[in-house]
Amino acid sequence: DESLHEILGIDKKYRSLGIIGARTGAGPHAISADEAVKASNTEVIIFETSNDTKGGGGHGNLIVFGAEEVSDARRAVEITLNSLSWAFGGVVGNEAGFLEVQYTARASHVLAKYFGAELGKAWGLINGCPASVGMLMADAAVKAADVKIVKHCSPGHNTCFTSEFTIFVTGDSGAVKQAVLAGKETAIKLLRTMGGEPEAMAKPYF
């Protein structure tokens, strides 16, 4: 609707909007939406995050895809929702907290626009809650492989005041994967000392 376009400052060429919102899982949604723009004629024009109000310690999100055709907007939403089934495999947690790792060999526009990626290059997300877990993951990750930190988040910086510490890294595809997996290994050991056996929310995809 024109009014909604106006108040949100959305270009009128995007006659169709694809809208996704969730109270948890901003990381899985980010990489899923990135897959969606790779495979559809759309752009993400809004990606906002919220403090996870379901008790999980992370972020929720609101994602708006802009498209000229309604079929494109619909396709972007479908791809995003389907991709979540593997992307949640990057989240592993127990009652004390969680880790999240995401990895792509070829980042697209969503990760570039909102999460520090370089278009077409490898990108990784290394995140832990509470923030101390994330900080120790980050330390292990940058020691394990030659990667560049392109953005970081902490309770007071670039988060919605969540109890998380996150780094986004780029570099050679093998190095990014190695860094991400080193972070994950560190977090699993830490979470084990803080609570029960950490469980993945879906089958890990890498």
Among candidates 165, 176, 104, which has minimal Cα distance to 142?
176
What b/e string do you get for 46-85 counting C-beta neighbours within 10 Å, with b at 16 or more? ebebbebeeebbbbbbebbbbbeeeebbbbbbebbeebbe
Closer by beta carbon to its own copies, 149 or else 188: 149
User: Under a CB-based contact definition with an 8 Å cutoff, are residues 159 and 182 in contact?
Assistant: no
Under the binding rule (CB under 8 A), the answer on residue 12 touching its own copies is no
User: Under a CB-based contact definition with an 8 Å cutoff, are residues 11 and 42 in contact?
Assistant: no
Among candidates 34, 18, 91, 11, which has minimal Cα distance to 59?
91
Q: Which stretch binds its own copies (CB under 8 A): 28-36, 52-60, 81-89, 197-205?
A: 52-60
Least distance in angstroms from the C-beta of 113 to its own copies = 14
Interface pick for its own copies out of 29, 33, 35, 57 (rule CB under 8 A): 57
Joined tokens for residue 1: 């609707």
User: Under a CB-based contact definition with an 8 Å cutoff, are residues 34 and 123 in contact?
Assistant: no
Under the binding rule (CB under 8 A), the answer on residue 56 touching its own copies is yes
Under the binding rule (CB under 8 A), the answer on residue 49 touching its own copies is yes
Interface pick for its own copies out of 109, 113, 118, 149 (rule CB under 8 A): 149
Under the binding rule (CB under 8 A), the answer on residue 10 touching its own copies is no
Please name every residue paired with 199 in a beta bridge, in sequence order, or none if there are none: 93
Under the binding rule (CB under 8 A), the answer on residue 188 touching its own copies is no
Under the binding rule (CB under 8 A), the answer on residue 21 touching its own copies is yes
Closer by beta carbon to its own copies, 121 or else 151: 151
Residues lying near its own copies in the complex (CB under 8 A): 1, 3-4, 7-8, 19-23, 46, 48-58, 60-62, 64, 97, 129-136, 138-139, 142-143, 149, 152, 154-157, 159-165, 167
